Structure 1
């Protein structure tokens, strides 16, 4: 089974959607609870929401498998992405609402976790790392947009309600300030959706691992409140009416990302048009 899908682009920008997958292999599924199989924590429909990205020349990388199999945005060494809160594991044992994901006595042991890292986690990251380096070598700069979404209220992770758009840059360490400022200007000017920079989500493992501005590789995490484009309750349906409203702002944001990347590329854009 292929554990991810990759489509190269023709710009210095790569879109990664690490939590959009929903497939669970049958041997793992047999060990899980009904709560797990409902997959309430998937970043559902983000590939549909970002369907415009290939038309902008953006490459994309997304997993097939569920984050419950192995979380691609976690450190395989076990370090917490956000030490101040209750994190879920590399191979999660509970949902965001603390519901057990495995039947009693059937949670993955250390050997099984290592197997999943080798079979599913590592190939995704090898592709991600290789593509970012390739873009940087080809264009002189590479920009990663790491796309996520989450329910507006998850007490396990943050108090109150999440803004519509949460931009994370590792507290200013993973992307050029000029790029971040331009993106925040887009969000501030939209007049409809709330936004924050380096709030509750200031950049997870992927953003911090790959964002190296001194090496001309920039990474930004964008966390969307799911209520602006889908139903947060089962069956977690996509909402074309809501998505139609948010897409112009999202597309403008991503277009600015591409514009900045071309402005800072050492290879002329015209050569690839």
Structure 2
């Protein structure tokens, strides 16, 4: 039986693609049956990111959202599962949660054939659509902007010390976008009330690194949000509109800054 609907996609009109790979909660039977009690709440999900960025629809952004949980397969890791960070991280098929707790009960990990299906029927379709969309944007606008949208709990000792900054931008140490776009991000950050860092603990995952090709007029930025600014970090992970409002305003300003940068002659 084929795995269905690995993503949802809404076509847009502006030269910006919003990629949301980790908001999905769909599970395959093999993964659902094998999850440990700690993993069953899907706490490592990028909760509510589509809702947080809902304003982008009215602006005309292209929106690509993964539907399967990262517990099935991680769309922001390379297909060969090579590690992206030298510090603690998770792989293409996560075996541990961010805090180091096992994802699966002993002996209940999906087998290699099952996981190969996930690669073929979830990972590859998402990435084909992502590249097709970027190609279409470039054909229409002569350049493309990719914003890869993520979030994470603000405190995870296994991954980083202390509390994560509110806004964590990654540009693969400046390689995934033009230098002038990096300068635009820095100026945006200086104008915000939120704490921020560029290329700190999160420099950009596979999507940012693979599709950020400024020489080909494809510019990619990852933004990892500290979840404390818009939701409860405890189960059931409720969205908190009274907190989210200010963050949404900042995200709207970010998209505006990216589009303004794109319209400048160069």
CA distance in 1, matches of 2:262, 2:142: 9
Retained in 2: the 8 A contact 1:15–1:146? yes
Note the 1:45-124 alignment, pairs <5 A.
45-82=48-85, 84-124=86-126
Determine whether 1:29 maps to 2:32.
yes
Retained in 2: the 8 A contact 1:21–1:64? yes
2:167 to 165, 168, 174: 165
TM-score, length basis structure 1: 0.93
Retained in 2: the 8 A contact 1:15–1:58? yes
Unaligned runs of 5+ in 1: 266-273
Q: RMSD of aligned C-alpha atoms?
A: 1.3
Unaligned runs of 5+ in 2: none
- Partner of 1:155 in structure 2? 157
- Partner of 1:249 in structure 2? 250
Shift of 1:80: 0.6
- Partner of 2:6 in structure 1? 3
Retained in 1: the 8 A contact 2:30–2:110? no
Which deviates more from structure 2 when the two are superposed, residues 121-130 or residues 108-117? 108-117
Deviations 1:48-94 (A, max 9, x none): 00000011111100011111110000111121111x21221211111
Shift of 1:26: 2.8
Shift of 1:160: 1.6
1:176 to 172, 178, 188: 178
CA distance in 2, matches of 1:226, 1:40: 12
Deviations 1:93-141 (A, max 9, x none): 1111111111211112322221110011110000001111111122110
CA distance in 1, matches of 2:113, 2:157: 32
- Partner of 1:233 in structure 2? 234
SS in structure 2 at match of 1:6: strand
Change (3 A) 1:264 1:105: farther
CA distance in 1, matches of 2:95, 2:70: 11
SS in structure 2 at match of 1:251: helix
Retained in 2: the 8 A contact 1:13–1:261? no
SS in structure 1 at match of 2:93: coil
Which deviates more from structure 2 when the two are superposed, residues 92-101 or residues 119-128? 92-101
Which deviates more from structure 2 when the two are superposed, residues 22-31 or residues 45-54? 22-31
CA distance in 2, matches of 1:141, 1:187: 24
1:129 to 125, 128, 131: 131
How many residues matched? 263
Shift of 1:231: 0.7
CA distance in 2, matches of 1:4, 1:28: 18
SS in structure 2 at match of 1:48: helix
CA distance in 2, matches of 1:88, 1:33: 16
Change (3 A) 1:137 1:34: same
